Chain A
Amino acid sequence: MTSESVTRPVALLTGASAGLGLALAHGLADRGWALIIDARGAAALKDAADALAAKTDVVPLAGDVTDAEHRADLVDAVGELGRLDLLVNNASYLGASPLQPLAGVELEELRRVYEVDVVAPIALTQALVPELSKAAGIVINLSSDAAVEAYEGWGGYGSAKAALDHASAVLAVENPGLAVYAVDPGDLRTAMHQAAFPGEDISDRPEPASVVPAFLRLLDSRPASGRYRASEFAPAVTS
């Protein structure tokens, strides 16, 4: 039973206990969005949820996006909140750190990269298309420049993100009522980025919060479905 009084939009973000996912969650919370968030680490997720609960309604569910039961819990939560306007498939897996050349990649690692970065987002989108359609909703799949550029060591992650990019494009064609975006946020100062460059100083990369305004502008302007770089939506810098 959906609730007619629930007028605030609802977003589901995966991998929202840290990094870009957490920054986006706060950006949406500041705008009054209700949130369903997940992450594998329950402790970090709890801290994230407690900070967000001061601003908005938040449903934290700890789990792994590759786990079908956990995904079913996320779908249940959407049902209980009565609507879904935005799905952000942000949870991603880089693979082994340090990065391996494809000729030497462990296939089990590669399988997990594809499970997290390709299969799980498609599975979650499948399950949520009905609710998203009711709200003429938006799907954002997090991409990477590694999906279009051939970087040494990025073969597993990059090819998985390329697959997700293409899956996003097909989902958009098959579901014209939805907006489906693959978005490359650019290099950010996150745990994943550090794992890609172990031991290196990445403090020159921007904080995840710096790209949140671009994501919000993407939501506001709702361009045609497709692949975008967050920098295309960066607010004009006035000096």
Chain B
Amino acid sequence: MTLHPHTRFTLPDELNAVEPPEARGLARDQVKLLVAKGTTVTHTRFDRIGEHLRPGDLLLVNTSETLAAAVDGSWITGSGVAPVVVHFSTALDDGDWVVELRHDGSPVFGGSAGDQVELPEGVLTLLEPYQPSGTRLWRARPPVGEMVGYLRRNGRPISYKYVGRRWPLALYQTVFADQPGSAEMPSAGRPFSFELVSRLAAAGILIAPILLHCGVSSLESHEPPLPERFEVSEHTARLVNWVKANGGRVIAAGTTAVRAIESAARPDVVASKGWTDLVLGPDHPATVVDGLITGMHAPEASHLLLLESVVGGDVVQNAYDAALEHSYLWHEFGDVSLLLRH
């Protein structure tokens, strides 16, 4: 099933954020912020986001920590040995991992079941394609049992072509990160600084943790997002229901937080833990969140469908038109939007 977002735009290359804001001379909370509500777009800076929130609003923040999920290796094929980068996307329940092999910044589609990739400390074995539809993602046996420490020793953060060079793992962490497990940074949390979080708390803005370990994103693809491991605690579930019953707004920091909380809606939110394959979109709108904080997503990304499912296609199109006109920067190191239903 291929779904196209309502929002259409062309992203010029110069609007890809090629480096973290810190490298552009900005603090993490000084990136641009676009606030879209109804037909109105306000331009501001992220450290002033509190001006657009109210006491009693609840921010849901993803506490997943980014792994150094990219590891260099040698893929042994029938015809020889090829250098590849293994992207470790998702830890499965039985200890296997979902992985993607990459070469020169592009996915490798030529893998076969039984292929081995030589890695530091051991060998990765491809077991079977993870999705029936293709050979981009594989279920694989990792080189060691305990992969979090392994990646800390041997990996580096996943980065895509538009990011010009390698940046240290610390630049891929949010101030909320405390549970390792994301292949890619849950980037909507990145612009929060410790100081900003304190100011929001002092202003009566509530903050509650939620967990969703991000798998690899497939940029520019029409594929629905992969199943991801998530957790909504009893405390967070109760708080969300309380806030909604008391006139506050539930605002998710990131598409990951939206996916997690919406996966726990019955329709009231209940404590939940496990895997979510929820795909939000026109036929499955968001019912819990009243808005979200999110980075700028590539055209045609399934994320756009999620955004539209929260605030509607027109608000998203307005926001993206304005972001392009005002030269906002895209992707994990770029600028941010706050999209509000009301």
Q: Hey, which bits of chain A sit against chain B, CB under 8 A? A: 1, 3-6, 8, 34, 42, 46, 49-50, 52-54, 56-60, 73, 76-77, 79-81
**Bound CA–CA A79/B40 (angstroms):** 9
Interface size class of B (residues with CB under 8 A): 20 to 34
Tell me which residues across on chain B come within 8 A of A77, comparing CB atoms. 39-40
User: In chain B, what residue has the closest Cβ to A43?
Assistant: B325
Pairs across A and B, CB under 8 Å, 26 listed: A3-B52, A3-B54, A4-B55, A5-B203, A5-B204, A34-B51, A49-B43, A49-B326, A50-B326, A52-B43, A53-B326, A57-B44, A57-B51, A57-B52, A58-B44, A59-B41, A59-B43, A60-B43, A73-B39, A76-B39, A77-B39, A79-B38, A80-B37, A80-B38, A80-B42, A81-B40
User: In chain B, what residue has the closest Cβ to A1?
Assistant: B342
Is B50 among interface residues, defined by CB-CB distance under 8 A?
yes
Is B156 among interface residues, defined by CB-CB distance under 8 A?
no
Known: A73-B39, A80-B37, A80-B38. A5 touches B50 (CB 8 A): yes
**Bound CA–CA A5/B317 (angstroms):** 27
Tell me which residues across on chain B come within 8 A of A42, comparing CB atoms. 325
Tell me which residues across on chain B come within 8 A of A6, comparing CB atoms. 51
Is B35 among interface residues, defined by CB-CB distance under 8 A?
yes
* Residue from B43, B50, B342 in contact with A50 in the complex, judged by beta carbons closer than 8 Å: B43
Q: Hey, which bits of chain B sit against chain A, CB under 8 A? A: 32, 35, 37-45, 48, 50-55, 203-204, 325-327, 342
**Bound CA–CA A54/B44 (angstroms):** 7
Tell me which residues across on chain A come within 8 A of B39, comparing CB atoms. 73, 76-77, 80
Contact A76 B43 (CB under 8 A): no
**Bound CA–CA A57/B37 (angstroms):** 14
**Bound CA–CA A60/B44 (angstroms):** 11
Contact B54 A5 (CB under 8 A): yes
Other A-B contacts than A53-B45, A57-B42, 12 sampled, CB-CB below 8 A, are: A5-B50, A5-B53, A46-B326, A53-B44, A56-B44, A57-B52, A76-B38, A76-B40, A77-B39, A80-B39, A80-B40, A80-B42
- Write the nearest CB–CB distance from A36 to chain B, whole angstroms: 8
**Bound CA–CA A46/B41 (angstroms):** 13
Contact A57 B48 (CB under 8 A): yes
Tell me which residues across on chain A come within 8 A of B325, comparing CB atoms. 42, 46
**Bound CA–CA A42/B325 (angstroms):** 10
- The 9 tightest CB contacts between A and B, nearest first, are A80-B40, A53-B43, A57-B44, A5-B54, A77-B40, A59-B42, A57-B42, A80-B37, A58-B43
- Write the nearest CB–CB distance from B172 to chain A, whole angstroms: 26
**Bound CA–CA A114/B139 (angstroms):** 73
- Write the nearest CB–CB distance from A83 to chain B, whole angstroms: 12
Known: A49-B326, A50-B326. A8 touches B43 (CB 8 A): no
User: In chain B, what residue has the closest Cβ to A7?
Assistant: B51
* Residue from A4, A8, A52, A76 in contact with B51 in the complex, judged by beta carbons closer than 8 Å: A8
User: In chain B, what residue has the closest Cβ to A56?
Assistant: B44
* Residue from B42, B45, B51 in contact with A54 in the complex, judged by beta carbons closer than 8 Å: B45
- Write the nearest CB–CB distance from A85 to chain B, whole angstroms: 14
